[in-house]
Amino acid sequence: MEIFKYKKPLSLMNKSKRFGLLSVTILILSLGLIIGKGFNYGIDFAGGTLIQVQYEGQAPIEKVREAIDSDTSYEGATVTFFGGEDEVVIRTKTSSKALGVDVGDQIRTLLQETGNFEVRRVDMVGAKVGSELREKGLMAMVLAIIGILIYVSFRFEWRFAVASVMALMHDVTIAMGMIVLFNVEVNLDILAALLTILGYSLNDTIIVFDRIREGIRTIKDPDLGGIIDESVTRTLSRTTLTSLTTFFVVLTLYLFGGEIINGFSFTLLVGVIVGTYSSIFVASPILMWLGFSVGGFRTKEAEKLKREKEKEKMRAMYENGTL
Amino acid sequence: MKTLNFRVILFAFALIFGVVFSIPSLTQSESGKKITLGLDLQGGLHMLLGIKSEIAIESRIKSMAASVKYIFDDEEIIFDALRMVDGEQITFELLDKDDVAKAKALLKKELEGTVIIDNGMKFSVAMTEAEVERTKQNAIQQAVDTIRNRLNEFGLAEPTVAKQGEDKILVEVPGIKTQEDEQRIRELIARAAHLQLMAVDEDRNIRVNTMSLAEAKSYGDVILPDVNTGEKYLLRAIPVLDGSMLTDAKVGFDENNQPVINFTLNGQGAKIFGDFTGVSVGKRMAVVLDNKVYSAPNINERIGGGRVQISGRFELSEAHDLAIALRSGALLAPVYVMEKRSVGPSLGADSIKASSMALALGFILVVLFMVVYYGMAGIIANVALIGNLFLILAIMSLFGATLTLPGMAGIVLTVGMAVDANVIISERIRELLYAGKSIGKSIEDGYSNAFTAIWDANVTTLIAATVLYAYGTGAIKGFALTMSIGIMASMLTAIVGTHGIYQWVLPKIDKNKLGLWFGIRTGGAK
């Protein structure tokens, strides 16, 4: 079966302004959401207690709310359905430091009258741990980006590194915007998802860049735009296919993976779409705007080749004893 | 058909390795190394404990004050105003100028790890920074050991107790079935288990209900309540004995068949206890645990042999836990909960079910897609994919890695991404075939062209995963680990494995059946 058959290059770079505008608009909207509304931090980062309770049959959510409200120390606690109709999740900002006094135990006592239930999960994170986790998460993100910058600069050229990191930030920012928009609770697994997007989107971008690098060497076109067009078109089928298979898998995770990994798979779903888009329409134009010069790159490559040749010659001479 | 090449042999080895070492995990057999399920998948209790190390430091200062008093009394150095300041240092004043040099020499000799500052006759003694740090670390290490001993004695499967970071303790207890058990475990950990045998101040005890704490202190006494009745006792503040002289504690039964705890004292303890009971006949002695009086029996005669009993209207399970705590020793400093996650076994099972289903479905979708789109090339890619899956399981089993829910998601994702390398290669081969190259050349060049892209893309992803592993906690670490293993396994299976298979089957590839082999209609060798 063939879907994408390479015939002639799509003229993408001519339209790069339009894609740029689209990206910038979505970026601004996302940033607006992140700054304006802010993340809905879950207990991993904000601290607090989460209790997941499963009832036999329909959960009496109103009764649960009443029971929780009857204790003033749980002010601001929320009770929501979780997954199906039989499970509820209670979130409170309270956390108990003492080993003997447990918020989970207290809530269980409060709920005694509401019916037959089983407490399936109690997560409690102290405020201090929460802020520590948040700092560590941010640190991980920054370090990952620096590591990538260094590697790509080393393997390609600094402009490729900057372009790929900008594309990454584009993807992660938009994914974050969607997280805020859909009010997904930000926990450790969401952080993992964001870092996965980082990896995935980078993967996509690097493969396109690899083709561009190859294109610079093999395609006669002196214009970078033309080379990018041709290279992107040549990778289009791979990019789309891989994105599709990954998308399938993440979609099954989203649909059948259960409520607990819903946030995680949602974030990935967004990431796969944005990551694919950015590797085609965002990363390459940035490369152009950064003033990447084909001639310069070719000269450098030629010099590198020359140096290697000379080294080989020297070695050969040395081995033959003529030096 | 060409003879087997090294790539196919390597791949075959990898496949056999993968299958053999993932069998113990897949069948959950007793023998062999297998993947441990994370607490989120098998259910259990995960806790991050902090420790109030300032309490350990304070008690160290307290004991320093006691030593100062003891040394000076012993050497007949006269001093006054011995005080503890802010729980950080002790101060005192010498009364005789002639004693200064002697006192300094004594303090230096007897108190290790301290800074002694003298201002003429006024002295202050504080711990050095290194000593403070050592005391803190000691308190944590001691807490880790004590908690581990207690949990091991409780008899649950494989609890983990480890120091985490500078000042935290990680406790993981899998397989807790009920909330009551969880509560018992938490209480067992929290128990300071500070046992003291104290004399009742019989002369003044009659006024205990009207006495203020300050007044009691002025007599060198403390007021402590009875654990059951709340009745107050006036006790001599310096205990006769404490838990450090205890050698064993067991649950027994008294004449009314009520559970009691019998404990045995070491030689020194037994002697002190014997002497004390000998001179205190007719008086009462209180058994005090964590600042609560459990019993205060009358001493009828001298008690030798160092056997003491605590009775306190216990439940059997309570007596059992108490005996464990006493045997394992006291905590130098109290611990508190920083993070607690408990997952019921049913939720863990549900999570496994849901993510396995997602994994299976995603896998089937990808496999079908590859066959439909690429024909035989797709089948070859699928062989690599299956090999990849087994390799991940095998490597995780060998490392005894923990599989968590995000870890399973990581595997699912790896499946999605592992196809990538195969897609890149297949697309490259197709391109070359369109360009009219021979099949052999297309395959060889396809692989070499695709290699840099796959390499660079995977290495960058690996960088991200490594950072995630270094900075992540628990479940995130699991995710990063499975992803890293997945990436490496996929490089082996996709680049080396499938290449070998192509070389192996090359003579069989019919240039007129490119639709079957590579899923394309045109092109091929001219």
Q: Do B460 and A148 touch (CB under 8 A)?
A: yes
Whose tokens are 């509304």? That residue is A37
As a whole-number percent, the residues of chain B with pLDDT over 70 amount to 96
> Å from B205 to nearest chain A CA?
32
Confidence check: pLDDT of B72 > 90: no
Q: Give the closest-approach CA distance of B421 to chain A in angstroms.
A: 9
Are residues B465 and B480 in contact, defined by beta-carbon separation less than 8 angstroms?
yes
CA distance A297 to chain B (A): 18
Looking at residue A256, its pLDDT comes to 84
Q: Rounded to whole angstroms, how far apart are CA atoms B526 and B441? A: 13
Q: Average per-residue pLDDT in chain B?
A: 82
- The Cα of B311 is separated from the nearest Cα of chain A by a number of Å equal to 22
Top pLDDT among A90 and A4 is at: A90
The pLDDT score that the predictor gives to residue A18 is: 87
CA distance A152 to A155: 5
Q: Alpha-carbon distance B5 to B517, whole Å?
A: 20
Residues of chain B in contact with residue A252, where contact means CB-CB under 8 angstroms, are 358, 361-362, 365, 412
Task: For residue B379, list chain A residues with Cβ-Cβ distance below 8 A.
Answer: none
Instruction: Please report the DSSP string for B37-66 in residue order.
Output: EPHHHH-EEEEEEEE-HHHHHHHHHHHHHH
Number of helical (H) and strand (E) elements in chain B, helices listed first: 16, 19
On the question of pLDDT at A139 being above 90, the answer is no
Give per-residue burial for B1-26: e unless 16+ CB within 10 Å, then b. Answer: eeeeeebbeebeebbebbbebbbbbe
**pLDDT at residue B363 above 60?**
yes
Q: How confident is the model at residue B522 (pLDDT cuts 50, 70, 90)?
A: low
Q: Do residues A190 and A264 lie in contact, with contact meaning Cβ atoms separated by under 8 Å?
A: yes
Q: Are B516 and B12 in contact (CB under 8 A)?
A: no
State how far residue B240 is from chain A, nearest Cα, in angstroms.
29
From residue B318, give the alpha-carbon distance in Å to each of A72, A112, A307.
32, 24, 80
A258 contacts in chain B (CB < 8 Å): 350-351, 354-355
Residues 256-295 of A with CB under 8 A from B: 256-258, 260-261, 264-265, 268
Q: How far A96 CA lies from chain B's nearest CA (Å)?
A: 7
> Cα–Cα distance between A161 and A109 in angstroms, integer?
57
Tokens of B124: 């202050």
Residue B339: which of A104, A129, A189 has the nearest Cβ? Answer: A129
pLDDT digits over A181-207, tens only? 999 988 888 887 887 788 788 888 888
pLDDT score at A175: 94
pLDDT band at B3 (very low <50, low <70, confident <90, very high): low
pLDDT for position A181: 94
- Those residues with Cβ within 8 angstroms of residue B256's Cβ, 6 or more apart along the chain or in another chain: none
Q: Of B275, B255, B252, which is closest to residue B263 (Cα–Cα)?
A: B252
Q: How many angstroms separate the Cα of B120 from the Cα of each of B70, B90, B106?
A: 22, 16, 16
pLDDT of residue B2: 52
Q: Is the Cβ–Cβ distance between B277 and B302 less than 8 Å?
A: yes
In residues, how long is chain B?
526
Mutation target for B interface from A146, A248, A273: give the one with most B CBs within 10 A.
Answer: A248
* Residue A322 forms contact with B (CB below 8 Å): no
In 3D space, the residue among A284, A166, A291, A297 whose CA is nearest the CA of residue A233 turns out to be A284
If one counts every other C-beta atom within 10 angstroms of the C-beta of residue B458, the result is 22
Distance CA B198, CA B239 (A): 5
Higher pLDDT among residues A274 and B219, named by residue:
A274
- Residue B148 has a pLDDT of 87
pLDDT band at B475 (very low <50, low <70, confident <90, very high): low
- Six token digits for residue B27: 């069948």
Residues B510 and B422 sit within 8 Å (Cβ to Cβ): no
Q: Is the pLDDT of residue A234 over 60?
A: yes
Residue B523 has pLDDT above 60, yes or no: no
Nearest CA in chain A to B481: A192
Contacts of B471 in chain A (CB under 8 A): 136-137, 139-140, 143
Partner-chain residue, chosen from B335, B434, B479, that has the shortest CB–CB distance to A192 = B479
CB contact A153 to B (< 8 Å): no
B272-316 pLDDT, tens digit per residue, is: 888 888 888 888 888 888 888 888 888 888 887 778 777 777 788
CB atoms within 10 A of CB B191: 24
Question: Burial level of B326, CB count in 10 A (0-12/13-18/19+)?
Answer: buried
* Cβ-contact A39, A186 below 8 angstroms: yes
Specify the DSSP class assigned to residue B257: S
Q: What angle do CA A225, A229, A233 make, to 5 degrees?
A: 170
- For residue B25, name the pLDDT band (cuts at 50, 70, 90): confident
Q: Are B77 and B94 in contact (CB under 8 A)?
A: yes
Tell me how crowded residue B513 is: count the other CB atoms within 10 A of its CB: 12
* Whole-number Å distance between alpha carbons of B508 and B1: 7
The gap from C-alpha A116 to its chain's centroid, in whole angstroms, comes to 40
Neighbours of B301 (CB within 10 A): 9
Whole-number pLDDT of residue B525: 41
* Lookup: tokens for B81: 């105003």
Flag if A260 and B362 touch (Cβ within 8 Å): no
Distance CA B462, CA A199 (A): 8
For the segment B369-373, the average pLDDT, to the nearest whole number, is 90
Q: For residue A87, what are the contacts with CB-CB under 8 A and spacing of at least 6?
A: A52, A53, A54, A55, A59, A81, A120, A259
Nearest to B423 among A98, A242, A248 (CB): A242
Of A253-262, A301-310, B112-121, B196-205, the least confident: B112-121
Q: Do A203 and B467 touch (CB under 8 A)?
A: no
- Return the amino acid letter for B50: G
> What is the rounded average pLDDT of the residues B66-71?
74
Residues, chain A, total?
A: 323
H or E stretch covering B413: helix B405-434
CA atoms of B88 and B86, how far apart (whole Å): 5
Name the residue facing A121 among B343, B373, B430 (closest C-beta): B343
**Residues B160, B169: Cα–Cα separation, whole Å:** 10
Task: Please write down the HEC assignment for all residues of B148-171.
Answer: HHHHHHHCCCCCEEEEECCCEEEE
Q: What integer is the mean pLDDT of B230-246?
A: 80
What DSSP element (H or E) covers B308?
A: strand B307-310
Whether residue A121 and residue B465 make contact (CB cut-off 8 A), yes or no, is no
CA distance B505 to chain A (A): 21
Number of H helices, E strands in chain A: 11, 6
User: Angle between the B179-190 and A103-111 helix axes, to the nearest 10 degrees?
Assistant: 150
Distance of alpha carbon B94 from alpha carbon A52, whole angstroms: 64
Q: In what order do the strands lie in the sheet with B307-310?
A: B246-253, B259-265, B307-310
Question: Under DSSP, is residue B259 helix (H, G, I), strand (E, B) or coil?
Answer: strand
Tell me, rounded to whole angstroms, the distance of Cα B307 from its chain centroid. Answer: 36
Q: State the pLDDT at residue A28.
A: 94
Residue B153 CB burial class (10 angstroms; 0-12, 13-18, ≥19): middle
For residue B173, report the phi and psi dihedrals to the nearest 5 degrees.
-125, 105
Q: How far apart are the first and last CA of chain B?
A: 22
When mean pLDDT is compared across B114-128, B274-288, B366-380, B422-436, the lowest value belongs to B114-128
Provide mean pLDDT across the span A112-138: 82
Tell me the H-state helices in chain A: 16-36, 43-46, 61-69, 103-111, 127-155, 158-181, 188-218, 224-256, 262-281, 283-289, 294-320
* B130-153 per-position pLDDT tens digit: 888 888 888 888 888 888 888 888
Tokens of B123: 């002295």
What mean pLDDT is predicted for residues B205-223? Answer: 83
Interhelix angle A294-320/A188-218, nearest 10 degrees: 80
- Beta bridge partners, B122, equal B93, B119
Q: What mean pLDDT is predicted for residues B448-467?
A: 86
**A143/B467 CB distance under 8 A:** yes
| Token pair in block for residue A281 | 């329409």
At B52, the amino acid letter reads K
Q: What is the pLDDT of residue A25?
A: 94
CA distance B336 to chain A (A): 5
Coil, helix or strand for B175?
A: coil
pLDDT digits (tens, 9 = 90+) for A41-59: 888 888 888 888 888 888 8
Task: Report, as an integer, the average pLDDT of B465-482.
Answer: 77
Residue carrying the six token digits 């990935």 = A268
CA distance A42 to B480: 21
Which residue does chain A place closest to B523, by CA atoms?
A5
Strand blocks (E) in chain A: 40-41, 48-55, 78-82, 84-92, 117-125, 185-186
User: What residues of B are in contact with residue A201 (Cβ under 8 Å)?
Assistant: none
User: Is residue A183 packed enough to be buried (19+ CB in 10 Å), middle (13-18) or exposed (0-12)?
Assistant: exposed
